[in-house]
Structure 1
Amino acid sequence: MSILGNEVRRVEDPRMLTDGGTYVADIPLEGAAHVVFVRSPIAHARLMSVETDDARAMPGVIDVVVGDDLDLAPRPPMAGDAAMSRPLLATGKVRFVGEAVAAVVAETVEQATDAAEAVWADYDPLPAVVDAETAADGPKLFDDAESNVAIALPPTAEVDFSECEVVISHRVVNSKIYASPIEGRVAAAAWGEDGRLTCWSSTQGAHTSQGAIVGALGLDPSQVRVIIPDVGGGFGTKASPGAEECLLGWLARRVGRPMRWAETRTESLQSLGHSRAQFQTVTLGGTADGRFTHYRLDMLADAGAYPGVGALLPTFTGLMACGNYDIANAAWSATAVATNTSPVNAFRGAGRPEATAAIERAVDLFAAEIDMDPAELRRRNYLAPDAFPLTTPTGAAYDSGDYRASLEAALEAADYHGLRAEQTARREQGDHRLLGIGMATYVEVTSPMGPVCTETGSLELRPDGTVLARTGATPFGQGHVTTLSMVVADTLGIDMDQIEMIHGDTDEIPTSDISGGSRTAQIAGSALLNASEKLIEAARPRAADLLEAAPADVVLDSETGQFHVVGTPARSTSWADVAAADSETLFVENDFEQHGATFPFGTHVAVVEVDADTGEVTLERLVAVDDAGFLLNPLLAHGQIHGGLAAGAAQALMEEVHYDPDGNLLTSNFADYGVISTTELPSFEVHESITPTPLNPLGAKGIGESGTVGSTPAVQNAVIDALSHLGIRHLDMPASPEKVWTAIASSAS
C-alpha cells in the first residue's frame, strides 16, 4: 500500500526531541573567536570617524575592524541605482539604526560585547527619511543616486474606468512586520589547510549562500564550502546571508582563526530585515449588478535602507494582482523607495499576500458600495474551472483551480448563514459584542516565478541495501526529510528507516536553490521520484542476473521492495541482494525541471468578536479550505497551514514594526513587538480540496505559504465587517484595540 498521501509522523522528531538538533552554534570549532558588531544608534548620519583604541586594549580582544579596513567592494543592490550598494561595514554614512560600523573579535562573546561598548563613533546627524510616502522627495540616502527611488515601474496597461457603473478606490496599507524566527542569524567560518573557506550558515539554501559569500569576498566558488545544519526557522527572511555573515570569512583570514557570530534578538529586530511594507491604492470598477470589469493596483514599497529583494517584491504582487477573479482589464504600477529603516526582506509569501490583501479588500469595498453580500459578489466573479489553463491580464499562467468550490466548502464549514443570522440578532439587540464575518479567497504562485524551476536529487544504493539520498532542498522545520523520504520509500518499496537524507552542503550537493516559495514537495520531491525510477532501472539488470531472467522481464513490486519475473512473484530478490551482487555502487542523479509555476488556492473564513466598549478584537474562529494539489503528507501539510494561519492573523490583529520620526526602532524586543501566541488564537478548522497540477509527476503544488496568504485579509475583513453597520468601511492593519476603539468613537460623533 502506498504511503504517499497518508499521515506519517516526522522522522526528524526523535532526534530533535532527544538531541535537540545540531544548529550552527553547536558546531565544534577549535580555537574559534567570537565576533560582535558595533551598530549605529542613529538612522541617518555622516560617519566622521570610528575610534577603536580603547576597545583594542580591553581583555580578550583580538582585533577591531572598521569599514575603512576592508578591501571588499560593497554589495550591489538587487534593483535600482548601483549607487545604492551596501558596504559590509558602514563607510561615509550610516543609513539605519542597527547598521554595523565595526566588528570586534575577542576570545569570548562576553569580552567582545564589553569591548563593543568601548568603540566610539563620531556621527554628524542628517534628517531621517522614515515615511515611504514622502521618501522620493526627501533628503537623499545615497549622495551619488538621483533620488531615493530604487525602481519606478509605470502601469503595465491603460485601464479606463470611465464606462464603469461602479468604481471604488481606496488606499490600503500592508503593514511592516518582522518574521520572528526562533533562531536568529547565526554563522561561523574557518579556513582549512587546503586553502578553502568553510562557512556554516543558518540560511535557506547552501548554493545561494555560497554565491553571496563568494560575491562579497571576491572568491571562486571552488574556494568556499557552505554547510547548513539544522535551522530554527527562516520564512524567507533568511533566504541568503547578510552582510555580517559574509564578513566572517574575511575576518577569519585576517585573524587566522575560525569565527563565530550570533545575533541577539534586538539585533535581529534591527537588522535581519522587515517585510511587507506596501502602500497600495486599489481601484476596482464594474457593473451595478456586481460584475468586475476593471482593476488597477498602484504600489509604493518601502525597500528600507539598502534596496534588495524588498524592491523587487512589488513585481510578484503585480503578477498576482487579479487574484481569483475574471477581470478583463487589469494593470499595476510600482515604485520602491529607500528609507532610513532596516532593509525589507521576503517573508512567507513574499509579495503574493500583498496582492491578495489588496484585491480582497477591494472586493469587500465593492460589495459595501453596491450593498451585496461579499460571498455572492465573489461567486459572480470567479474564474470558471473549465477556463484553465489560462493567463491573466497581469501575466500569471494559472495551471488549475476551482475557486467557487473552495468558497462553498468554507462557507458550509463555518455555517455562514447561521453566523449572519447571529450577527443580525446581536445588532438588533444592541449587543456590545459585535460579531464580524470575513472571508478571502486567494490564489498564490509557488516557485518558479520564471518559466523553469529545477532541483537536483540523487540516490546511492549502499552495500547493505540501504539508500543514501541527496536533495537540493534545505529543511528548516517543515518536515522535508520525512516528505522526501516518503517519495523514495514509496517508489522503491523500502522502509523509511532504510533511507539517509543528505542536504545543505555544497560539497555533497552539486546544485541547489533556496527552500522557499513552497517549492520543495513539488520540485525536490519530483527530482527524487525520478531518481528513484532511475535507480530501479539501474538495478534491473543485476536483479535479472540473480533471477536468471532477461532484464525486460523483471519488475519491482513497490509494495514489498522485491524484484521478480513478471507473473512469478514467488521467486524474488531484494534490494540488499542486488546491492551485494556487485562491488560497484549503484548511483543515479536527476535534475528535475518544472516548466511553469503552480498556483495553490483556497478560501479562509474568519469570525471575530469586537468589544464595542474597549475596541478589543477576539478571533473566535478561523476556517481554512486550501488546495495544494496532491498532498504527499496531509499531517505535515496541515502543520504548514496552521503556521501560516497564525502568521496571517498576527499581521491582521497585532504585529507591526514601528519607527519614530527620527528613525529609532520602537519595537526592538518581544516586549514591544507583540508576537502572537496561542492565547490570542483559536483552534484552527482546516479542510482540504485536491486539484492536482499537470506540471509535475506528483501532482503537488505547495502549501508552506498558503495559510498566510488567505488568513490576513480574511481576519481584516472580519473586523471591518463587525463595524460595518456603524458606517466604517475600512481599517488598516493591524486592528489594535486603540485603532478599533477610535474608529467606533469617531463613527458615533
Structure 2
Amino acid sequence: AAEIGMDPIQLRRLNFFRAEDFPVTTGVGTEYDSGDYEASLDLALEAAGYDELRAQQARRRADGGPLQMGIGVATYVEVTVGPAPGGDEFGRVEITPEGRARIYSGSLSHGQSHMTTFSMIAADRLGMEVDDIDFVQGDTDLVPHGQGTFGSRSTQLGGSAIHDAAGVVVDEARRVAADLLEADVSDVVLDSEAGGFHVVGSPSVTRSWAEVAAAAEKGLLDAESQETRLCSYPFGTHVAVVEVDVETGHVRLDRMITCDDAGRIINPVIVEGQRHGGIAQGVAQALMEEVSYDADGNPQTTNFADYGIISMAELPFFELVPLETPTPNNPLGVKGIGESGAIGSTPAVQSAVLDAVAHLGVTHIDVPLTPRKVWAAIQGA
C-alpha cells in the first residue's frame, strides 16, 4: 500500500472475497466454506474508533514528542480441522439405566473445556440438562479411537460426532417410546421440558429416558459416530494501538481490538477464553519471545529469567467483537477458535510499531520488537 500510495484499508477491501461469493475455490484449489471478511474489518475498525485514532496520531506527530502512536491492522484467514481436505473424530453416546447420558470423545481436553462444550451439545440434542451428562475421555479401555486435539478441530469433529450419535440415540428412543405409548413413531416427540417422550398433543402421558432405556433391547440405548468432515476457514481482523518511545525504543501496547469468526458460537465464555489466550501468545511473539544463541551456538534463553514471558502487566484489556458466520461443513455450523488470537495479533502489533516510526524512515523490524531492535532501527533509518 505504501509503495503504490494507497490506503492499506482500501487495499484490503479490494482483495477480499465478498460474502455472496462463498463457497469460494482459491487459485490453489482450496475451497473456503463461508465468510464475511469486510464485515469483520468494519466491525473491528468501528470498535477501535479508527478515524479518531488516526487523528490522534497526526496530532502527536505534529507535536514532535518522543512518545509516538502507531496503529496496526491485520486481517487473516486460517484453516481448521486440517490438513485439508478434512478429518474425523470418534464420539459415542449412551443412555444409562438411570436415564442419564454418558458421552465419550476421542478428542482429549487440555484446557479447551471439552467437557462443558460437548455436554452442552449432547444436552441440547437429548433434551436433558447439562448436569445429566457424564463425560469420558482419555481412557483407551473405554474410548477405542481418537485422532488427537490439534488444528482447532475438536468441536468441529468431536462435537459433531457427539451431536450425530445423540441424534441416532434419540431416533432409537422414539421407536422404543412409541411401543411403550402404543403410538406411531411419527407421532412421538422428545419433550426437553418434561425430560421424556410423549405423543404430540398429549404431554400428560410421558415416558422418561430411564423408562425408555429399560425397555430398549438389552437395556441399552447407544450410538457411535466418526464421520469425515471438510475443513473450515475462519477469519478475522485485529487492530493494535501502541505507544513507542522513539528515544529508547520501548513499546507499550495500549489497545487490542479483535473481531474473530468462530462459526456458530456454542459457549461465548469459552470462546472468549480461547481468544484471550491466543491474543496474549501472539502479542508475546511480537514483543518478547525469542530463542537466541551466542556465536558458538550455545542457547542463551534456557530459563524463565532469560526467556521473555508476557504477563498481565504488559497487556491491556482486550476488546473482543463477536462475529458468527456458520459453516455448512458440519452439523453444528462451528469453526475452530483456538489459534485465531495468535494468528492476527502478532502482525497487528508489528504493523502498529512500524506505523509509529514510519515517519522516521523505518520500514522493517524483525520480531520480537525489543527496545534494542526498535531503537537500532530508528537510529539506522
| TM-score scaled by length of structure 2 | 0.97
1:383 aligns with 2:34: no
- Of residues 213, 219, 235, the one that matches 1:601 is 235
CA distance in 2, matches of 1:654, 1:500: 42
Distance apart, 1:559 and its partner CA: 4.2
Letter in 1 for 2:273: G
1:716 aligns with 2:356: no
Q: Give the match for residue 113 of structure 1.
A: none
CA distance in 2, matches of 1:662, 1:398: 46
**C-alpha contact (below 8 Å) 1:539/1:586 kept by paired residues:** yes
Q: Give the match for residue 449 of structure 1.
A: 83
CA distance in 1, matches of 2:280, 2:298: 28
Q: Give the match for residue 326 of structure 2.
A: 692
- Of residues 304, 313, 338, the one that matches 1:679 is 313
Greater fraction strand: 1
CA distance in 1, matches of 2:9, 2:241: 14
Structure 1: gaps spanning 5 or more residues: 1-366
Distance apart, 1:570 and its partner CA: 2.6
CA distance in 2, matches of 1:476, 1:675: 20
| TM-score scaled by length of structure 1 | 0.50
Residues 670-700 of structure 1, C-alpha deviation per residue, up to 9 Å, x if partnerless?
Answer: 1000111111110100011111111111111
Distance apart, 1:655 and its partner CA: 0.6
Residues 27-63 of structure 1, C-alpha deviation per residue, up to 9 Å, x if partnerless?
Answer: xxxxxxxxxxxxxxxxxxxxxxxxxxxxxxxxxxxxx
**C-alpha contact (below 8 Å) 2:97/2:219 kept by paired residues:** no
Q: Give the match for residue 109 of structure 1.
A: none
Q: Give the match for residue 639 of structure 1.
A: 273
- Of residues 401, 407, 416, the one that matches 2:50 is 416
Letter in 2 for 1:531: A
Q: Give the match for residue 539 of structure 1.
A: 173
1:652 aligns with 2:289: no
Q: Give the match for residue 100 of structure 2.
A: 466
**C-alpha contact (below 8 Å) 2:214/2:220 kept by paired residues:** no
- SS of the counterpart of 1:740? helix
Residues 430-449 of structure 1, C-alpha deviation per residue, up to 9 Å, x if partnerless?
Answer: 12111000010000000132
1:590 aligns with 2:229: no
Letter in 1 for 2:90: T
CA distance in 1, matches of 2:26, 2:344: 19
Letter in 1 for 2:108: T
1:728 aligns with 2:362: yes
Letter in 2 for 1:693: T
Number of paired residues? 380
1:556 aligns with 2:182: no
1:522 aligns with 2:156: yes
- SS of the counterpart of 1:686? strand
- Of residues 66, 69, 73, the one that matches 1:439 is 73
Distance apart, 1:536 and its partner CA: 0.8
CA distance in 2, matches of 1:396, 1:660: 42
CA distance in 2, matches of 1:416, 1:569: 56
CA distance in 2, matches of 1:726, 1:395: 42
CA distance in 1, matches of 2:178, 2:203: 13
- SS of the counterpart of 1:440? strand
Q: Give the match for residue 667 of structure 1.
A: 301
Letter in 1 for 2:68: L
- Of residues 479, 494, 497, the one that matches 2:113 is 479
C-alpha spacing 1:740/1:518, structure 2 compared with 1 (3 Å):
same
Q: Give the match for residue 111 of structure 1.
A: none
**C-alpha contact (below 8 Å) 2:81/2:156 kept by paired residues:** no
Residues 10-38 of structure 1, C-alpha deviation per residue, up to 9 Å, x if partnerless?
Answer: xxxxxxxxxxxxxxxxxxxxxxxxxxxxx
CA distance in 2, matches of 1:588, 1:516: 25
Distance apart, 1:417 and its partner CA: 0.3
Structure 2: gaps spanning 5 or more residues: none
1:745 aligns with 2:376: no
Residues 309-336 of structure 1, C-alpha deviation per residue, up to 9 Å, x if partnerless?
Answer: xxxxxxxxxxxxxxxxxxxxxxxxxxxx
CA distance in 1, matches of 2:86, 2:369: 40
CA distance in 2, matches of 1:659, 1:383: 43
- SS of the counterpart of 1:589? strand
CA distance in 1, matches of 2:85, 2:135: 29
1:491-506 equivalent positions in 2, closer than 5 A: 491-506=125-140
Distance apart, 1:653 and its partner CA: 0.6
Q: Give the match for residue 370 of structure 1.
A: 4
**C-alpha contact (below 8 Å) 2:76/2:237 kept by paired residues:** yes
Q: Give the match for residue 123 of structure 1.
A: none
CA distance in 1, matches of 2:132, 2:94: 12
Q: Give the match for residue 622 of structure 1.
A: 256
Give the greater-gyration-radius structure (CA). Answer: 1
- Of residues 8, 30, 50, the one that matches 1:396 is 30
Letter in 1 for 2:46: E
C-alpha spacing 1:559/1:455, structure 2 compared with 1 (3 Å):
farther
Q: Give the match for residue 72 of structure 1.
A: none
CA distance in 2, matches of 1:612, 1:411: 26
CA distance in 1, matches of 2:65, 2:8: 23
Greater fraction helix: 2
Q: Give the match for residue 53 of structure 1.
A: none
CA distance in 1, matches of 2:68, 2:128: 56
- SS of the counterpart of 2:84? coil
- SS of the counterpart of 2:254? strand
Distance apart, 1:452 and its partner CA: 3.5
Bigger relative CO (Cα 8 Å, ≥ 6 apart): 2
**C-alpha contact (below 8 Å) 1:494/1:560 kept by paired residues:** no
CA distance in 1, matches of 2:57, 2:339: 31
Distance apart, 1:541 and its partner CA: 2.7
**C-alpha contact (below 8 Å) 1:693/1:700 kept by paired residues:** yes
- Once the two structures are aligned, what percentage of the paired residues are identical? 55
CA distance in 1, matches of 2:234, 2:148: 19
Distance apart, 1:505 and its partner CA: 2.3
**C-alpha contact (below 8 Å) 1:491/1:558 kept by paired residues:** no
